[in-house]
A and B are shown apart, each in its own frame.
Chain A
Amino acid sequence: MIKVGISRALFYYQYYPMWQTFFEELGAETVVSSPTNKDIFTSGNSRAVAETCLPVKVFFGHVISLVDKCDYMFIPAIRSMGRKAYNCSKFLGLPDMARALIPRCPPILDPEIDLNKGQRNLHKTIYGLGSHFTCHKGKIKKAIEKAWKTNSAYRKEMADLGITPVQAIDRICGENCEPGSALNLSPVLKIALIGHPYVIYDDYINHRLIFRLQAMGAEIFTSEMADQEALDVAMAKLAGNPHWTFEADIIGAGEFYLEAKVDGMITVAVFGCGPDSMMIDVVRHRARELKVPFLYLSLDEHTSEGGLVTRLEAFLDMVKRRKRVCV
C-alpha cells in the first residue's frame, strides 16, 4: 500500500480529516508524524533560515521525521481559500522550501490550491493529485465527495460540541484516543483564545497553553467553536474584505468574541508572523474600544515556560479581579 506522509503541523489542524478520507478512498495509507517533540523541534530549527517563523520550522521538523516512513510527502501549496484572500507566502513556498532544505525528502505531492482560479481549476488540480494513485476518474470523484463530507462533518462537530480540532480529529479519525483530561473545575472565566490553529493546538510550541488555562479555571473559546458564517460577518464588520485567508479566524473570531462579551482575550502569535503583526493590531484596537482585557503573547523558540505561566497567571488574576469589581 502506498504511504502518504502528512505532517502534524500548519494545515493539519484544519484539513486532516478531509485529507485522510481522500487518500484512504484512493487506497493509500496516511502516515502522520507524532505530535511535536524535542527532536522534531530541533531538527526543523536547525535546517531553516533563522528568520523563518517557528511553525514553519517545526513543519520541517515533522517532514524530516517522516522521511523514511512514507513513499510520498503531501505538502500542498495553498494559495487561496477564498475570493481575493490569500495565504502567507510561506505556505506557497512550503513544498519548494522542503525540497531545498530536506534533500532526502521522498517525492512531494504539491498541488497548488487556488480558489481564485475557479472550481474547474480546483477540480483539475485534485484529479491531478488523485492520478498518482489511480487512473480511475470515478474513484477520484467519489473520494472527493467523501472527503468533502468528512470536512463538513468535522467543522460541524467542532462548532456544535465546542471542542478543539485535536479532540475532533480524535473522535473522527479515532487515532491515539487519549481520554480528554476531565478537569472537574467549574470554569469561572470565559477566555477567548485567538490565533492560528497550528499555534494554539500545538502543545509543544505553546507550552500546553489550553491545558494551563483550563487548569487555572478558564473556559476556552477558539475560532473553530464558532459558526463559520458568524465569523465572516464579524470580520466584514471590522475589516471589510479579507486580504488573508485566515483573517476570519483572527479578526473575525476576535470581533465575534469581543461582542459576545468574553471576560478576557488572549491572542497568541509567533514572532515574525507577517499577517499577524497587522491583524492582531486591529483586534487589539477593537478590544481597547470595547474595554475587554487583552493579552498578546508572542511565542518563539526561546519562549520559556516559566515566563509564560507568570504572564498567564497575572492576566487571569487581573481578569478575575476586574470581574469581581464590576459585578
Chain B
Amino acid sequence: MRVGIPHFGNVYISVKAMAQRLGATERDLIIPPPMTRRTLDLGVKYSPTEACLPYKLTLGNLIEACELGADTLAQGRGTGICRLGYYAKNQEQILHDLGYDAHFITIDVSHHKLASILQLIKGMCNNAPWPKIISAFRFGIGKLFALDKIEKVVQKVQAVELERGTANQIYREAIRAIDKAAERKEVKRITSEYIDKLSWIPKEEDAKPIKVSIVGEIYVVIEPFANMDLEVELGKLGVEVERTMTISRWIKYSLFLNPLGIDEWRDVHKAAMPYLKRDVGGDGWESVGEKVLHAREGYDGIIHVAPFTCMPEIVAQNIMPSTKEDIPVLTVLCDEQMAKPGMITRLEAFVDLLKFRRKRRKR
C-alpha cells in the first residue's frame, strides 16, 4: 500500500513523522511535491468548473501523488453542509477516468474524528499495537503544535523587524529543522531555540503596528499557496497578523476537548448570535463572530479570506457589513484566476485605509 495525501499547511510534516515512527519506509507514504502552478493547473483542468479552490488544489495534489505511484489516497469527509463531503466521491471518479486506479480512504471530520483518524492509522500499519500508534500520533501532532507556536511569534515579529523578511527566513528554517527532528525532546529544543532566535531579531523600538485579524474558510486561511502568502505579504507591509484558526487548535479542540463538552468557539458564536443565529456549515458562523469580537477587542481591521463560491462564507460576507461593531473588512476571494500583484495592491490600499483611520481616531 502506498498512501498519498493532499497538502494542507504543515500537516505533511506530522503525517511523515507518524509514518516514520510506525516503521513506514519512503515508499509507503507519498507526499506530493510542494504546491506549484502545475498542481493548480492540473486541478483546474480536471475539476468541475465551479468547484471551489480547495477542491481543485487537493485534486491537483492527489494527481501528483498518483504520478509518483500512490495507490491509496487520503481525503477529508464530513456530513456537513459544505461541499467537503462530496470531495472524495467526485475526485475518485475523476482519478479513475484519468486511469489511476487509486482507492480512497476518508477521514471523517465532522463526527468521531479522533476515533476515525486512529482507526485509519491502525488499518494502514498492519495492526501495530495501540500504545505504539498513540505514541506516534502524539509525536506527529507535537510537531504541528511546535510549528504553530513558532508561527505565532513570527506573526508578531515580522511586523516590527528592521530587515523585512528575516522572521520568515527563520520560520522556514524552523520548518526544515522540525521536519528532521526524530525525538519529542528534540522538537521541544528546536522550538525554544527558534523562538529565541526570533526574539534576537533587531526590531523597531516602540512601534505600534497595524493589527489585523485573518478570518475565513479554514483551508484557504491556513494554506499559504491558496491565499498567495497573504500573511508574508502583510508582514512586508508592517502589519501584525492574528489568526485564531490553526491546525493545532483544530486538533486540540475538535479531537480532544469538544467531545468533553468544551467548545472553543463559544464566545465567538455568542458574539455572532445577534446577526447570525445558527451554524451555516463550514466556518461562516465563526467568521461573523470573530469580526464582532475583534472589533470589540480593538483590532484595526479584518481580512476575510474565502474560496470563490464558498457557500458559508457568502452568507458571512452578506451579513458582516451590517453588524453594529464597526471595523473595516477586506474580503479576499481565492481562486485560480487570482494574481499576486492584484492582491498586493488591494492589501496596500487596505492597510493605508487602516492607517488613516487610526490617525483620525487619535485626533
Chain A positions near chain B (C-beta within 8 angstroms): 48-49, 51-53, 77, 79, 84, 86-90, 92-93, 95-97, 99-101, 103, 110, 112, 239-240, 243, 269, 271-282, 285, 298
Q: Which of B81, B279, B281, B309 contacts A272 (CB 8 A)?
A: B309
- CA–CA, A271 and B97, complex, Å: 25
Is B278 within 8 A of A112, CB to CB? yes
In the complex, which residues of chain A have a beta carbon less than 8 angstroms from the beta carbon of B83? 274-275, 277-278
Residue pairs across A and B with CB atoms within 8 Å: the count is 117
From B83, which residue of chain A is reached at the shortest CB distance?
Answer: A274
What's the least CB distance linking A170 to chain B, in Å? Answer: 32
What's the least CB distance linking A130 to chain B, in Å? Answer: 20
Is B52 within 8 A of A274, CB to CB? yes
From A279, which residue of chain B is reached at the shortest CB distance?
Answer: B86
In the complex, which residues of chain A have a beta carbon less than 8 angstroms from the beta carbon of B90? 278, 281-282
What's the least CB distance linking A214 to chain B, in Å? Answer: 28
Is A100 within 8 A of B318, CB to CB? yes
What's the least CB distance linking B159 to chain A, in Å? Answer: 30
B276 contacts A by Cβ under 8 Å: yes
- Take A87-B81, A273-B50 as given contacts and tell me if A92 and B315 are in contact as well, using a CB distance cutoff of 8 Å: yes
In the complex, which residues of chain A have a beta carbon less than 8 angstroms from the beta carbon of B50? 269, 271-274, 276-277, 298
Q: Which of B52, B97, B318 contacts A101 (CB 8 A)?
A: B318
B340 contacts A by Cβ under 8 Å: no
In the complex, which residues of chain A have a beta carbon less than 8 angstroms from the beta carbon of B333? 51
B235 contacts A by Cβ under 8 Å: no
Chain B positions near chain A (C-beta within 8 angstroms): 48-52, 79-83, 85-86, 89-90, 93, 97, 275-282, 284, 308-312, 314-315, 317-319, 321-322, 333
Most buried by B among A77, A96, A112, A269: A96
What's the least CB distance linking B135 to chain A, in Å? Answer: 35
From A116, which residue of chain B is reached at the shortest CB distance?
Answer: B79
- CA–CA, A96 and B319, complex, Å: 7
From A275, which residue of chain B is reached at the shortest CB distance?
Answer: B83
- Take A89-B81, A277-B51 as given contacts and tell me if A51 and B275 are in contact as well, using a CB distance cutoff of 8 Å: no
From A281, which residue of chain B is reached at the shortest CB distance?
Answer: B48
- CA–CA, A89 and B82, complex, Å: 7
- Take A100-B322, A285-B93 as given contacts and tell me if A92 and B81 are in contact as well, using a CB distance cutoff of 8 Å: yes
Is A97 within 8 A of B86, CB to CB? no
- CA–CA, A92 and B318, complex, Å: 13
Most buried by B among A77, A95, A274, A275: A274
- Take A51-B333, A282-B93 as given contacts and tell me if A86 and B80 are in contact as well, using a CB distance cutoff of 8 Å: yes
In the complex, which residues of chain B have a beta carbon less than 8 angstroms from the beta carbon of A79? 81, 278
Known contacts A100-B318, A278-B89; 5 further A-B pairs (Cβ under 8 A): A77-B277, A93-B318, A110-B277, A272-B308, A277-B52
